[in-house]
Amino acid sequence: MGILGRVVVTVLPIMPRFIVGWVSRRYHAGTDLESALETMNRLSKEGACFTVDVLGEEITSMEEAQFFIDEYNRVLDSIVEQKIDANLSIKPTAFGLLIDPNAAEKSMEEILRKASSHEIFVRLDMEDHRVTQRTIDLVLTLHEKGLRNVGTVLQGRLFRTLDDIQHLTDELGEYADHRICKGIYLESANIAHTEKRSITKATNEAIDAMLESGAYTAIASHDTAVIEHSILSLKRMGMGPNISDPRSNAGPSRIGKGPGYEFQMLLGVRGDIRRKLAKQGHKTRIYLPYGSKWYEYGVRRLRENPDVAWHITKALLMPWSNRR
């Protein structure tokens, strides 16, 4: 898989854009909001809900942030108007966190307040290690301002994650709400696990820590080993489909949320497993990116983690195993 990934990354600069588009089209919901809404309305029939991500990450000037402010307002208005079961996922660097943190915080706070008025949750996506602490601090600051409809993403591969779970639990208590994933950013061995087995083990330990802490736990993984471990852990804690969250340290139930947990998967990846989980009664959410930055999104993901190329190749060669 590593060799394949390196080959793909090497040929990216000379690969025609239309080929990249053909490969990536199943993994994003189109270039505009209308396409994203059409996709959500169609997949809602499969019992899925969504977290919407407007494609685009680190900006180079604060003027660029206005696009994301305007677009997320359009997303909010549309999902409310069409009564779609959807949350938002935003990248703090797209709002200028690394350029003007105060302005970025103000803009995100405005989005959060609007979302809160409609009981819509907002997830601050986690990026590379440069902004890990800043993103966590931002969540804590927003909670201090009375905004309870916000949480972040924690990455199983980072050594610090178990400590972050404990810290967020201590600070947020019953309002702690995390998405846990393995993490796509390839970080240094000084701060992160780098081998597949250790990353999986660390992610499973983080899931258990989240469940035991009482936090709402969004399990974002396509890895069968992680999903199977999660189901066993849920059963051990008396949690599951159609069961009220039995944890004494859990927060109140919230609109659009599962009974203390949910499963999340990327659009276009392991739809078979998502549908199976949904059929079993589990809350399932599709991470749904859209926007004009689809090319940059796909190329950056491959460059940051070349092993993603294996999953793409498998999907192309064996599409029956990876329906959208």
Residues 198, 320 within the same domain: no
**Known catalytic membership, residue 137:** no
Of 53, 123, 125, 177, which is the active-site residue? Answer: 125
216 and 315 inside one domain: no
Is residue 172 within 8 Å of residue 140, measured between CB atoms?
Answer: yes
- CATH code for position 63: 3.20.20.220
Structural domain count of the chain: 2
Q: Are residues 130 and 237 in the same domain?
A: yes
- Beta carbons of 105 and 141 less than 8 angstroms apart: yes
Crossing angle (nearest 10°) for helices 132-144 and 101-117: 50
Q: Do 263 and 321 belong together in one domain?
A: no
Using H for helix, E for strand and C for coil, what is the string for the chain? CHHHHHHHHHHHHHCCHHHHHHHHHHHCCCCCHHHHHHHHHHHHHHCCEEEEEECCCCCCCHHHHHHHHHHHHHHHHHHHHCCCCEEEEECHHHHCCCCCHHHHHHHHHHHHHHHHHCCCCEEECCCCHHHHHHHHHHHHHHHHCCCCCEEEEEECCECCHHHHHHHHHHHHHHHCEEEEECCCCCCCCCCECCCHHHHHHHHHHHHHHHHHHCCEEEEECCCHHHHHHHHHHHHHCCCCCCCCCCCCCCCCCCCCCCCCEEEEEECCCCHHHHHHHHHCCCCEEEEEEECCCHHHHHHHHHHHCCCHHHHHHHHHHCHHHCCC
Residues 1, 89, single domain; the answer is no
**pLDDT tens for the 324 residues of the chain, in order:** 556 556 655 665 556 665 566 566 667 888 899 999 999 999 998 888 999 999 987 899 999 999 999 999 999 999 999 999 999 999 999 999 999 999 999 999 999 999 999 999 999 999 999 999 999 999 999 999 999 999 999 999 999 999 999 999 999 999 999 999 998 888 899 999 999 999 999 999 999 999 999 999 999 999 999 999 999 999 999 999 999 999 999 988 888 999 999 999 988 888 889 999 999 999 999 999 999 876 666 666 555 555 555 555 555 555 555 455
Options 26, 123, 157, 179, the catalytic residue: 179
146/268 same-domain check:
yes
Q: Is 179 a catalytic residue?
A: yes
Structural domain for 300, as ranges: 1-28+295-324
Question: Are 11 and 68 part of one and the same domain?
Answer: no
20 with 90, same domain: the answer is: no
